[in-house]
Structures are given as C-alpha cells and as structure tokens.
Chains A and B, each alone.
Chain A
Amino acid sequence: MDLTYYPGCSLEATARDYDESIRAVCEALGIRLHELIDWTCCGATSAHVTSDRLSVLLPASNLPAAEKAGYDVLAPCPLCFNRLKRAQKPVGSNVLVTDLNSLLSRNEVLASIKSAKKADLSGIKAVCYYGCMANRPPKALESGDCENPVGMDRVAEACGVTVIDWSYKTDCCGASFAVSRPDIMTTLVRKLYDRALEAGAGCILVSCQMCQANLDMYQDRMNRDLGTCYDIPIIYISEIAGMALGLEKPEGWFKRHLTDPMNFLRSKGVIKAA
C-alpha cells in the first residue's frame, strides 16, 4: 500500500516519537509513506477561532499536491485530520484523508499485524483514549462511531494488549488550555486518570500527540501541587504496534516521554529487565 503522509507540525517537533513509531510500523507492515511535498500548517484551532477564511484556506492549500500524488492521505494528528477533511468540501477535493486508527484497523492491516506479531503484550492492561478531534463532528468527518469509537481498541487487541472498555474514550482532555488555563486542563485530565485507574488500566493508549503531551507531561507537577501520585504511562498506539511487531526502536521512542513507561513495561514482562 502507498500513502501520502501529512505529518503536521507537532510530529516533526515535540511528537517525533509518534512520527518515528508510525514510520517504523508502516515500514514493517509494507505500507509505503510518501511525505507530502512542501506541506504547510493546517491552521489548527487558532485558525478557526480567529478567521473563517484561513480555517479553510490553510488546510486546503495542501490538497492540490495530495490530489496530484493520487494516494490516500494519512494524517495521524487528529487536529490536522479534522481540518484537512473539513476543508475538502468547500474546495471540492476528493482525495481520501484518513486518521491513524482508521488506517490500522482496516481488516487487511489488522490481519498483517496479527500474522507479523512477535512480542507478547498480554500483560498490558490498557484503556484506549481517542480525544475529541478524530471523530467529531461525525458528519463532516464521516465517522460512524463518534460516541464509542472502536478502531484503536481493535488495533490494540490485535497487538495482544488486554483492552479494557470505559466510558471516557472521547471526553475532552483540555489540551488547548494546557498553556493558557492550566487550571481547566488539570480538572479534565485528573478525571481521565481517575476513571482509567478505576477501570483497572495500567496505562492509557492514545492516537493524538496533543492528548499524549497533555496527559504525559504534567503528572509530576500535579503530584507536587496536588499531593497526588499519578504515574500513568501514556503510550501511542503506534508504539504498541511497534512493540508487538518486535521492532528494535520502542525504547528510543519512550525516552521522549516525561512519564517514563519503562518500569511499567518491564514489570509487565513486555520489555526485558536491564
């Protein structure tokens, strides 16, 4: 399979672990990614908050090159995915834009994950957290399961993870307020931690680098300021797939996490004790 790849700004900066794990997993699964030539920022939340025009034109300016390439477009950042997809109708673009969970949960991809699986991840008990942007609003994004998405659950199961169902898959984590209103963000994030722990999960799986950063980065600060003791690894579904496929690289990706998942993964027998 060949795909046009639109990494988006964070995947070439703060979320290189997400980018690298996606590239490595796709390579291992025989999916060839061709990075979109001269791609530019989708405008993110700030464009649609401040200008209707730019909220369409910024993402849309990437579409002609994608049309020309002729492959489906993979946009793993849910915000980029959301903005690109919603810009298509106004400018009459027909190329298929997909998010990571939709790609990895295609039947043929699930089958190749299962047949190439090398590691036993059954010790990992996890909840899947999808966030806001990949499934809402469902009409514009052509998402069939916006209240209870299952794509990531299916991928994690195919990787051998013990997936726990929970009701907070798409509750907002407040990432857009992490900098401007940390108080709001903390309230939302704590709810997710507490519900995940209550459900019996040892870690939270994500497919959004904003959710990852928001859930991963501030645990220390919260523990210090609020007297909590959160130590919950926030792991990308692509990192899980990388581990399941027995790739060499996962430990390098995990070095970038601020809440280090290594002890957790060792204690679950997924990564060998040093």
Chain B
Amino acid sequence: MNLENEAVAFDTSYAAGCAEKSGVDIFACYQCEKCTNGCPLAFAMDVMPHAIIRMMQAGLMDEVEDAVTPWVCASCETCVTRCPNNIDVPRLMDFLKQEAIKKDIEPKVPEVAAFHKTFMDNIRLFGRVQETALMGAYQLKGIRQAADLISAPVIENVKLGLKMVAKGRMSLIPKFAKGKSRIKKLF
C-alpha cells in the first residue's frame, strides 16, 4: 500500500460486519491511543489495541486474524473505562477470539484457548468449577499437545498442586453442584 500523496480507499465492509456482529462501534475510534497507553498487557502484544481497531477500519482482516493481541488481552477493562468514545475494546478482543474459534483458525496462543475450553467443559460437567479437576484436565491437554510427558511446566504445576493440597487449598474430591442440571440445559 503506498500511503504517500495518494488517497487510499478503505474497504469498510469487514469493519461494518464486525461492528454489527459485536455491537462495538468500530468507526467511532479516532485513534487517540488512550487505550494502548493504559494497556498493562501492551508489552506482550504484537499489534497495539488502537492499531487493531485501525486495521479493522481499513479492512485488513488477514492481519487482524494473524495478531497475537486478542489472545493476550486480559479483559482488564482499563481501555474501555478510559476511551473517550466508549469503545468496548475488550468486547472486540473477545469477538475476535470467538470468530477465530468459529472459523477454525489456529489460536495464536493455543494455551489460552485450551484453558478456556477446559474451564467451560468443567462448568458443564459439575455446575461449579472444580479447580483440581480443572488444573488436571488442563495439564493433560498440555501433555497431549506437546506429546512430551516430562515437560517442565507440567511437572512444576503438579508440584505446586501437591503443595496446595498439603496446605489445604486444593481438594482431590470433586463436588457436584445441585444446580448442575439447570446449567447443562444452557449449553
């Protein structure tokens, strides 16, 4: 794209589609960068939050889908709190993750996607989250993915898990919530 001395036409159909589906007014952003300046996770992002919005406005779908940014957004809500135009950036980050999952695009940070999947399975199964079962299932997923039974982080987390059991912070017996049949129907 030559940006010098030439009018560049934006294809706004991508942004319009995203705005409609997510309910976030992407076109209201005037690139003041307040979101990025306050974002505690900016150091871990490859594209800054304001730039994600600009890329959406410009119709750069492939570039947006390629960014790590939505996957490291912590949903801390600092940006939306400070945005002069009330643009719900974390909502947009969620939307981009949901779209990636829907379109079967390989998540940019697979560990994050795996964690959320395990968490939701856990709610469906028990009605309440069983932190021990959650960690166990997540770690097993990690093992399967890495096909590496002695991967260091797994061992580290198992060790920490045992320390937590010893400290009475984790129980090895799952509890089922009575309301779990009510929950199953929602999924």
> How many Å lie between the Cα of A42 and that of B130 in the bound state?
13
**Which residues of B have CB within 8 Å of A16?**
168-169
Q: Name the interface residues of A12-33: CB closer than 8 Å to any CB of B.
A: 12-17
B129 contacts A61, C-beta separation under 8 Å: no
Does residue A230 face the partner (Cβ distance < 8 Å to B)?
A: no
Residues of A contacting B127 with CB < 8 Å? 40-41
Question: Complex formed: what's the CA distance from A136 to B78 in Å?
Answer: 7
Contact, CB under 8 Å: B169 / A256: yes
Q: A9-B129, A137-B81, A179-B138 are in contact. Are A43 and B97 (CB under 8 A)?
A: no
B44 proximity list for chain A (CB < 8 A): 181, 184, 187
B12 within 8 A of A: no
In-complex Cβ contact of A181 among B111, B131, B168 (8 A): B111
The B interface, classified by DSSP as helix, strand, loop or mixed, is: helix
How far apart are the CA atoms of A23 and B43 in the complex, in Å?
Answer: 40
Interface residues of B in 127-162 (CB under 8 A from A): 127-132, 135, 138, 153, 156-157, 160
**B163 and A258 contact, CB distance less than 8 A:** yes
| Interface footprint category on A | 35 or more
Q: Give a binary string over B164-187; 1 marks a CB under 8 Å from any A CB, 0 the rest.
A: 100111110001011110110011
Residue A188, interface by CB 8 Å:
yes
Residues of B within 8 A of A50 (CB): 97-98, 101, 116-117, 120
A47 to B43, CA, bound (A): 25
Give Cα A154 to B57, complex, Å.
45
Query: Given the complex of chains A and B, what is the CA–CA distance between A144 and B157 in angstroms?
Result: 39
- Please encode chain A, from 44 to 80, with 1 for each CB lying within 8 Å of some chain B CB and 0 for all others: 1111111111100110010000000000000000000
- Given A13-B132, A40-B180: A217 in contact with B109 (beta carbons within 8 A): no
Q: Which of B3-11, B25-33, B48-56, B69-77 contacts A (4 or more CB under 8 A)?
A: B69-77
Q: Is B105 an interface residue (CB 8 A)?
A: no
Cβ–Cβ contact B167 & A44, under 8 A: no
> What's the least CB distance linking B51 to chain A, in Å?
19
**Which residues of B have CB within 8 Å of A41?**
123, 127-129, 177, 183
Question: Does B19 touch A at the CB level, under 8 Å?
Answer: no
A47–chain B nearest beta-carbon distance, Å:
7
Determine how close the nearest CB of chain A comes to the CB of B97; give it in whole angstroms.
6
B138 x A221 contact (CB < 8 A): no
B179 touching A38, Cβ below 8 Å = yes
User: Which A residues are in CB contact (< 8 Å) with B101?
Assistant: 50
Q: Which residues of A contact B (CB under 8 A)?
A: 9-10, 12-17, 38-41, 43-54, 57-58, 61, 132-133, 136-138, 146-147, 170-172, 174, 176-177, 179-182, 184, 187-188, 217, 221, 255-258
A–B Cβ pairs within 8 angstroms, 13 of them = A12-B175, A13-B131, A13-B169, A14-B164, A40-B177, A46-B120, A50-B117, A51-B98, A136-B80, A146-B81, A180-B112, A181-B72, A182-B153
The 8 closest A-B pairs by CB, nearest first: A136-B77, A46-B119, A180-B111, A38-B179, A172-B76, A9-B129, A46-B116, A132-B76
